[in-house]
């Protein structure tokens, strides 16, 4: 396919998206290679003038850095030809033009620029042979290791156990204030040269703990589906633990919007245990509730891309993912020292989960980046340990609640290696 200049029929065209010399494009393909102007006296004079300008420029002017070369983002990149005013730039046989990129106002990309290492991969056809000539277009690995510091939001109010003689003395669900715990977040991503990528990720936060206690003056009421009263109780101690972990695989799709799409599959494990000891010198009672949630499903989302920053901050990153899951949920409640009953209730329900992140990522070298951020993780329609007592009937051994929710949040610090 040929590309021929015609200064009389076409008033203007583009050079890397800017109006410069007139061009006409052979419509038989998508990639046009520039040829010499038409064989006319006027064209010969124009070509002679252009060659003289280029010869003097090559002899006297220094090479232009990549900042003046729109195809490159890295200062290492250098243009083959020095800067020449656009009005005097012409089409030469070494030029290439890619018509598969751009828009009606910018129908193609032309470039003299040859790069040692190009950071920008927004346009996969921006170079004539990008896969072999530009290292930045080669497939790469991104390995990220994050340290998480998470907590769980306190459950909603609801009385679990109270002192019958003084109801103000009670163990309430909103009495559990969870501590901050460390976790890990590991990911490995394979980035193709056109920015599509595949990612594997594991995250885990173990043993978030909350404790509460109260004194009692005698008879205590256990607020189950059928209330149970126990006597000679002097104090009540409660401990609540919560674990969260998961594994996911995602595809990330390149777009020409200020974000990229995410589609993937995910497993989430969410387990809790609630222990309440009713202390007594004669007849102590213990209540145990254990819940296990195994969520399997699909998720979609959007995420930021480096060369289209949010709020004009190139280091600002963000992502949002939501998913629909099937929840294989189970709960076990045990009350010892009184009726001695046990309730096991499996359930299969639909659950929802969403994860939202925002952070700041700063490059240290071409291969190493550090980042920090904030994450919000929400689950709906899951079995929560503190919700089971009020629906459990210890006399019949039935009852469960898988309609609860759990909200985790916290910060992270990450180190990312690109190779």
How many CA atoms, within 13 angstroms, populate the side-chain half-sphere of residue 153? 12
pLDDT at 167: 85
pLDDT for 209: 96
Flag whether pLDDT at 77 surpasses 50. no
Does residue 103 have a pLDDT over 70? no
* Nearest CA-CA partner of 384 in 342, 337, 417, 351: 351
Greatest CA separation for the chain:
115
Cα dist. 320→297, 299, 360, 416 in Å?
16, 10, 15, 20
What phi and psi values does residue 397 have, to the nearest 5 degrees? 70, 30
Q: How far is CA 40 from CA 88, 90, 266, in A?
A: 19, 16, 66
Q: Which of 182-186, 221-225, 237-241, 392-396 has the lowest mean pLDDT?
A: 392-396
| CA distance linking residue 48 with residue 184, whole number of Å | 66
Give the residue with greater pLDDT, 301 vs 54. Answer: 301
**Whole-number pLDDT of residue 118:** 41
How many Å separate Cα 227 from the centre of its chain? 46
Rounded CA separation 233/163 (Å): 8
Q: Is the pLDDT of residue 31 over 80?
A: no
How would residue 270 be classed by pLDDT, with cut points 50, 70 and 90? very high
pLDDT of residue 258: 74
What integer pLDDT is reported at residue 215 of this predicted model? 93
| Token couple for 233 | 């109780």
Local confidence band at 396 (pLDDT 50, 70, 90 cut-offs): confident
Q: Rounded distance, CA 126 to CA 173, Å? A: 59
Q: Is the pLDDT of residue 75 over 50?
A: no
Mean pLDDT, range 317-327, rounded to an integer: 94
pLDDT exceeds cutoff 90 at 89:
no
CA pair distance 114, 406, nearest whole angstrom? 53
Tell me which residue of 381, 240, 236, 398 sits closest to 333, measured CA to CA: 398
What percent of the chain stands above pLDDT 90?
A: 46
Q: 206 pLDDT band (50/70/90 cuts)? A: confident
The whole-number pLDDT of residue 82 equals 40
- Scan for tokens 């009263």, then name that residue: 229
Decide: 15 and 86 in contact? Cβ < 8 Å: yes
State how far the Cα of 210 lies from the Cα of 181, in Å rounded to an integer. Answer: 11
Q: Residue 316, class by beta-carbon neighbours within 10 Å (0-12 exposed, 13-18 middle, 19+ buried)?
A: middle
* Closest of 218, 304, 236 to residue 274, by C-alpha: 236
Does the structure show a pLDDT above 70 at 48?
Answer: no
Nearest to 383 by CA among 289, 267, 299: 289
Strand 78-79 with 14-15, pairing: unpaired
pTM of the model: 0.68
CB atoms near residue 237 (< 10 Å): 14
pLDDT computed for residue 304 by the predictor: 85
Quick one: average pLDDT of 26-53?
47
* Residue 44 in this model has a pLDDT that exceeds 60: no
Tens of pLDDT, residue by residue over 299-313, are 999 998 766 656 666
Q: Is the per-residue pLDDT at 351 higher than 60? A: yes
Which tops the pLDDT comparison, 329 or 26? 329
Per residue in 140-196, pLDDT tens? Answer: 899 999 999 999 999 999 999 999 888 889 999 999 999 999 999 999 999 875 568
User: What DSSP state is assigned to residue 123?
Assistant: -
Query: What does the pLDDT read at residue 366?
Result: 83
What three-state secondary structure class fits 379? strand
Could you state, in order of their start, the residue ranges of all structural domains in the chain? Answer: 2-137, 140-418
Residue 102 pLDDT grade (very low, low, confident, very high; cuts 50, 70, 90): very low
Which pLDDT score is estimated for 419?
A: 85
Predicted confidence (pLDDT) per residue in 335-346, tens digit = 887 655 666 666
On the question of pLDDT at 256 being above 80, the answer is: no
3-state secondary structure of 173: helix
80-94, 191-205, 208-222: the lowest-pLDDT one: 80-94
* Residue 60 pLDDT level (bands cut at 50, 70, 90): very low
Three-state DSSP class for residue 60: helix
The pLDDT > 70 percentage for the chain reads 62
Within 10 Å of residue 248's Cβ, how many Cβ atoms?
20
**Residue found under tokens 């980042």:** 371
Distance CA 345, CA 348 (A): 10
Compute the mean pLDDT over every residue in the chain, rounded to the nearest whole number: 74
Which CATH code for domain 140-418? 2.40.128
Cα dihedral sign, 20-24-29-32:
negative
Contact 55, 38 (CB under 8 A): no
- Please tell me the predicted confidence (pLDDT) of residue 45: 56
Distance CA 140, CA 58 (A): 36
Q: Residue 162's closest CA among 240, 214, 100, 107?
A: 214
Asked if the model's pLDDT at residue 13 lies above 60, the reply is: no
Integer CA distances (angstroms), 256 to 79, 103, 195, 296, 316, in order: 26, 11, 11, 31, 18
Q: By CB neighbour count within 10 A (0-12 exposed, 13-18 middle, 19+ buried), where does 115 fall?
A: buried
pLDDT of residue 389 exceeding 60, the answer is: yes
Q: What is the pLDDT of residue 135?
A: 54
Angle at 306 between CA 297 and CA 375, to 5 degrees: 45
């Amino acid at each position: 396919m040929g590309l021929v200049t015609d200064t009389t029929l076409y008033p203007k065209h583009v050079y890397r998206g800017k109006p410069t010399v007139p061009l006409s494009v052979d419509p038989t393909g998508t990639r046009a290679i520039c040829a010499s102007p038409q064989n006319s006296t006027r064209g010969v004079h124009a070509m002679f003038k252009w060659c003289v300008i280029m010869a003097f420029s090559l002899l006297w002017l220094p090479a232009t850095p990549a900042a003046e070369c729109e195809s490159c983002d890295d200062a290492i990149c250098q243009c083959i030809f020095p800067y020449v005013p656009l009005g005097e730039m012409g089409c030469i046989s070494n030029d290439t033009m890619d018509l598969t990129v751009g828009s009606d106002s910018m129908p193609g990309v032309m470039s003299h620029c040859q790069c040692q290492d190009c950071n920008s991969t927004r346009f996969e056809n921006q170079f004539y042979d990008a896969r072999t000539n530009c290292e930045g277009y080669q497939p790469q690995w991104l390995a990220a290791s994050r340290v998480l510091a998470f907590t769980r939001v306190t459950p909603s109010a609801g009385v679990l156990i109270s002192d019958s003689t003084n109801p103000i003395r009670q163990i309430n669900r909103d009495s559990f204030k969870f501590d901050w715990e460390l976790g890990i977040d590991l990911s490995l991503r394979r980035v193709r040269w056109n920015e599509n990528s595949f990612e594997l990720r594991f995250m885990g936060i173990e043993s978030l703990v909350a404790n509460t206690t109260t004194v009692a003056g005698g008879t205590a009421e256990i607020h189950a589906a059928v209330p149970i009263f126990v006597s000679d109780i002097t104090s009540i101690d409660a401990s609540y633990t919560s674990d969260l972990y998961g594994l996911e695989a995602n595809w990330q799709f390149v777009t020409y919007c200020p974000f990229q799409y995410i589609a993937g599959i995910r497993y989430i494990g969410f387990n809790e245990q609630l222990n309440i000891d009713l202390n007594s010198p004669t007849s102590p009672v213990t209540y145990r509730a254990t819940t296990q949630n195994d969520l399997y499903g699909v998720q979609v989302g959007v995420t930021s891309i480096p060369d289209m920053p949010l709020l004009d901050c190139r280091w600002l990153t963000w992502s949002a993912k939501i998913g629909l899951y099937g929840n294989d949920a189970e709960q076990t409640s045990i009350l010892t020292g009184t009726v001695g009953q046990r309730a096991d209730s499996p359930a299969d329900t639909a659950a929802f989960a969403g994860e939202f992140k925002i952070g700041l990522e700063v490059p240290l070298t071409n291969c190493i980046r550090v980042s920090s951020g904030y994450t919000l993780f929400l689950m709906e329609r899951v079995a929560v340990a503190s919700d089971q007592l009020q629906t459990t009937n210890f006399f019949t051994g039935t009852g469960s609640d898988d309609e609860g929710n759990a909200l985790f949040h916290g910060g992270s610090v990450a180190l990312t290696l690109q190779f």
